[in-house]
Amino acid sequence: MSLARGRPYLAIPGPSVMPDRVLNAMHRAAPNIYEGALIEMVATLWPDLKALACTRQHVALYIGNGHAAWEAANANVFSRGDRALVLITGRFGEGWATSAEAMGVQAERLDFGRSAPIDLDRVAEALRADKAHAFKAVLVTHVDTASTARNDIEGLRRVLDDQGHPALLMVDSIASLACDTFRMDDWGVDVLVGASQKGLMVPPGLGFLWFSEKARATTRGNDLRTPYWNWEPRAFADGFYQHFCGTAPTHHLFGLREALDMLVHEEGMEVVWARHATLARTVWAAGAAWSAQGAFRLNIADPAARGHSVTAMRLSGADGARLRRWCEHEAGVTLGIGLGMAEPGTPAADAFFRLAHMGHVNAHMVLGALSVMEAGMEALGIEHGSGALAAATAEIARHGKGEMPGAR
């Protein structure tokens, strides 16, 4: 007998749980792509996509996944042989560096390990050393989906400015977009990379580039830009099909419209971010309690350096994998595997796992997932500190206290 039968909760860090409204919006006959409703609807997407990233500058949408969006960013910004400084705090930072390198970019890595955010002093030092301003851009993940470290983008911009370094600031926000606060223009971000399947609550298949006028101006004529990746016709299309370099991803666009309605218009980005912050604190409160005894640890020690959309955790030995399996097969919660924290396939890799809390997620889903983890550790005899659920519910209760006076 399994207690998993029921509505499963997929708590992996993307693809995330999608609202029924989004799936329903995608369940439709193919539309006319030459005139009519689709064309009118798509025109409404651009301002809302900009609102999502807090920018008044430019946005290009790609049919593709996050890797496609990386490649698009690289292709638009670099020529072969250009140099980039890549700040690495997890597997996905490394992935972007590898992508750029394979395209002919000289990627100089600053690696900060797998359990910490970037160290702004080390970045300042590296920039200072680049007297010739050879770095055309600095690449960084906002939140690395693997380590779940969150980097201080506002601080990074300050470092660049302090050093008077003209490099473009390029940020991968795939894991944090629409979850963690992000203010592209205020923070001086030049290129922002996003994707549909996490905070945006749409199936995998769309990538996004937001880019500054500065990025646009300084990268004209670079030699990696190909027709499909070229952001110019996508962002400044003469005809509808240019937005997509060919046939539009019709069904994803309808899903995206619905998701933007929910995020930008109904809830509002500030509230979306506040919701994720509270739910993240709820997870961490449980994590702190579990850590008091036994091997359980949150991967990122400093709360200020943790992403709000997903939390990497570890146990010892293969206990991470055992717990994941128990939660999925016995209780209906699928946790994410650890990624890039240890050599895949080794016992060490099985210690890590991740709990996502991104996108269409509420108190019930998060508290339920934490309770299931607690039950799983008990069932499997995994030593852990006590009081985790009390700490988690207290966090939720604290939020709810000042609210909804009508209910009192």
Window 240-269: residues binding its own copies (CB under 8 A): 244-252, 262, 267
Q: Which two tokens stand for residue 117?
A: 């955010």
Q: Residue count at the site for its own copies (CB under 8 A)?
A: 111
Of 6-35, binders to its own copies (CB under 8 A) are 6-10, 12, 14-20, 23-24, 26-34
Of 172-231, binders to its own copies (CB under 8 A) are 195, 197, 203-205, 226-228
Q: How far apart are CA 221 and CA 114, in angstroms?
A: 36
- Print the binding letters for residues 388-407 with its own copies: x by CB under 8 A, - otherwise: -xx-xxx-xxxxxx-xx-xx
Q: Residue 59: enclosing H or E segment and its boundaries? A: strand 58-63
Q: Would you say the C-alpha torsion 379, 382, 387, 390 has a positive or negative sign?
A: negative
Q: Please list, residue by residue across 267-285, b when 16 or more beta carbons sit within 10 angstroms of its beta carbon and e when fewer do.
A: eebeebbebbebbbbbbbb
Q: Nearest distance from residue 408's CB to its own copies, in Å?
A: 7
Neighbouring residues of 76: CB distance < 8 A, sequence distance ≥ 6: 191, 209, 211, 215, 219, 222, 224, 225, 229, 230, 231
- Give the helix ranges, DSSP H, for 2-36: 20-26
Q: How far apart are CA 323 and CA 376, in angstroms?
A: 6
Of 268-297, binders to its own copies (CB under 8 A) are 271, 274-275, 278-279
Stretch that binds its own copies, among 178-186, 291-299, 308-316, 360-368 (CB under 8 A): 360-368
Q: Which two tokens stand for residue 25?
A: 């919006």
For its own copies, which residue of 56, 133, 265, 364 counts as binding (CB under 8 A)? 364
Of 91-110, binders to its own copies (CB under 8 A) are 98-99, 102-103
Q: Nearest distance from residue 171's CB to its own copies, in Å?
A: 18
For its own copies, which residue of 175, 191, 259, 367 counts as binding (CB under 8 A)? 367
385 binds its own copies (CB under 8 A): no
Q: Nearest distance from residue 226's CB to its own copies, in Å?
A: 5
Q: Nearest distance from residue 212's CB to its own copies, in Å?
A: 23
Cα dihedral 37, 248, 203, 362, rounded to 10, equals -40
- Print the binding letters for residues 126-165 with its own copies: x by CB under 8 A, - otherwise: ----------------------------------------
Contact 242, 233 (CB under 8 A): yes
185 or 371: whose CB is closer to its own copies? 371
SS3 category, 178: coil
Contact 100, 74 (CB under 8 A): yes
Q: Nearest distance from residue 112's CB to its own copies, in Å?
A: 23
190 or 395: whose CB is closer to its own copies? 395
Q: Nearest distance from residue 7's CB to its own copies, in Å?
A: 6
2 binds its own copies (CB under 8 A): yes
For its own copies, which residue of 162, 213, 302, 378 counts as binding (CB under 8 A)? 378
Stretch that binds its own copies, among 113-121, 213-221, 289-297, 371-379 (CB under 8 A): 371-379
4 binds its own copies (CB under 8 A): yes
Q: Is 271 left (phi over 0), alpha (psi -120 to 50) or beta?
A: alpha
For its own copies, which residue of 128, 133, 265, 329 counts as binding (CB under 8 A)? 329
For its own copies, which residue of 119, 130, 232, 330 counts as binding (CB under 8 A)? 330
Q: Is 369 left (phi over 0), alpha (psi -120 to 50) or beta?
A: alpha
Of 53-82, binders to its own copies (CB under 8 A) are 63-68, 71, 75
Q: Which two tokens stand for residue 223?
A: 């030699």
251 or 306: whose CB is closer to its own copies? 251
Please state, in angstroms and as integers, the Cα–Cα distance from residue 206 to each residue in 75, 134, 209, 217, 285, following that order: 17, 32, 10, 25, 34
**Nearest to 186, CA basis, from 83, 56, 98:** 56
